[in-house]
């Protein structure tokens, strides 16, 4: 099994909510993603750093993210992300599922294959544009499974121990592990 440590989430959400959202957008999410978010809606993974190469800059970039929530009462939601992409940014074929602290979005990329059940992952840089004044879109991973397998932790073991202690002292929920049904 492959394990991802989660700092917090909104808890489980019924898969029917996710399936209804798929009907609205006329896309199918990867099964591994559906399984994960149905147990961890709006999850904030501790192991959340992804890498990509920014176009025009031939060097590795890194960023951390949290998952957007299907629960409409959460702060960062799938509905809001989709509305932003369709109504303000006019970007078709990308479905945001995560956001970074800097306001960029991790997305499923259905542009080349609209009916894909395992689309590539891209990051949309919200404040960087191409020469054609389009938002900068950078490739991150060939699919969701590859993304989660290659996430990195931005805390040392010592910092993790300190985090657990702070959570205990403050009576906060402790980080927990989610076990993906895939081999390491």
Predicted TM-score (pTM) of the model is 0.84
Residues in the chain, total: 184
Q: Over 80: is that where the pLDDT of 46 sits? A: yes
Distance of CA 136 to CAs 2, 32, 64, 105, Å? 32, 27, 18, 11
State the pLDDT confidence band at 155, using cuts at 50, 70 and 90. low
pLDDT at position 121 is: 96
Average pLDDT along the chain? 83
Give the CA distances from residue 169 to residues 9, 46, 162, 177, in Å, rounded to whole numbers and listed in that order.
20, 19, 10, 20
Q: What is the mean pLDDT of residues 20-31?
A: 95
Task: Write the CB contacts of 29 (distance below 8 Å, at least 6 apart in sequence).
Answer: 18, 22, 95, 97, 108
Domains along the chain with CATH numbers? 2-180 (3.40.1580.10)
Helix, strand, coil share of the chain (percent; to 5): 30, 35, 40
Give yes or no for residue 36 having a pLDDT over 80.
Answer: yes
* pLDDT value of residue 79: 81
pLDDT for residue 99: 92
pLDDT of residue 128: 63
Q: What are phi and psi of 5, to 5 degrees?
A: -85, 130
The pLDDT tens digits for 124-150 are: 987 665 667 677 788 899 999 999 888
Residue 171's pLDDT is 74
Q: Is the predicted pLDDT of residue 120 greater than 90, yes or no?
A: yes
């Amino acid at each position: 099994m492959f394990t991802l440590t989660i700092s917090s989430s909104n808890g489980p959400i019924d898969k029917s909510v996710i399936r209804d959202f798929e009907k609205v957008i006329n896309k199918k999410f990867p099964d591994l993603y559906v399984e994960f978010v149905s147990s961890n809606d709006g999850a904030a993974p501790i192991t959340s750093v992804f890498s990509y190469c920014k176009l025009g800059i031939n060097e590795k970039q890194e960023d951390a993210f949290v998952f957007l929530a299907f629960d409409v009462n959460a702060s960062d939601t799938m509905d809001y992300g989709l509305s932003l992409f369709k109504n303000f940014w006019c970007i078709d074929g990308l479905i945001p599922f995560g956001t970074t602290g800097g306001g960029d979005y991790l997305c499923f990329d259905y542009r080349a294959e609209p009916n894909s059940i395992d689309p590539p992952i891209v990051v949309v840089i919200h404040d960087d544009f191409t020469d054609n004044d389009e938002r900068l879109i950078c490739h991150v991973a060939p699919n969701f499974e590859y993304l989660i397998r290659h996430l990195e932790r931005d805390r040392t073991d010592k910092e993790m121990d300190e985090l657990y202690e702070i959570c205990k002292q403050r009576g906060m929920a402790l980080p927990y592990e989610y076990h993906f049904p895939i081999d390491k």
